[in-house]
């Protein structure tokens, strides 16, 4: 079974693809495949960031349940 991809690993893969595409040495068909793969990785990273943001915006209440974080003024 393949291990779950971590955010940092996905970001490194995107950076590697970008460098390769920027070199200008990738044939068009391969460039399209790599671009598509990079976009899937970008979506994965975006989803991870959104999940992290949701978790940061919540705190545990006294009963151990997640509740939305609210600042009291």
Q: pLDDT digits over 21-62, tens only? A: 999 999 999 999 999 999 999 999 999 999 888 777 776 555
Tell whether 2 is covered by a domain.
no
Whether residue 44 is contained in a domain is answered as yes
pTM passes above 0.75: no
Please return the burial class of 61, using the count of CB atoms within 10 Å of its CB with bins 0-12, 13-18 and 19+.
Answer: exposed
Report if residue 60 sits inside a domain.
yes
Average pLDDT on 52-73 reads: 69
Which is higher by pLDDT, 64 or 39?
39
Per-residue pLDDT at 1:
40
How many domains is the chain partitioned into structurally?
A: 1
Whether 23 contacts 34, CB under 8 Å: no
Residue 39 is predicted with a pLDDT of 97
* Of 42, 35, 56, 57, residue with least CA distance to 5: 42
**Domain residue limits at 51:** 7-68
Is 26 among the domain residues? yes
Neighbours of 21 (CB within 10 A): 15
């Amino acid at each position: 079974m393949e291990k779950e991809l971590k955010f940092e690993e996905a970001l490194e893969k995107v950076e590697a693809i970008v460098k390769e595409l920027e070199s200008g040495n990738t044939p068009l068909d391969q460039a399209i495949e790599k671009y598509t793969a990079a976009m899937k990785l970008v979506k994965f990273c975006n989803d991870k960031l959104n999940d992290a943001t949701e978790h940061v915006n919540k705190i545990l209440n006294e009963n151990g349940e997640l509740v939305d974080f609210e600042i009291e003024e």
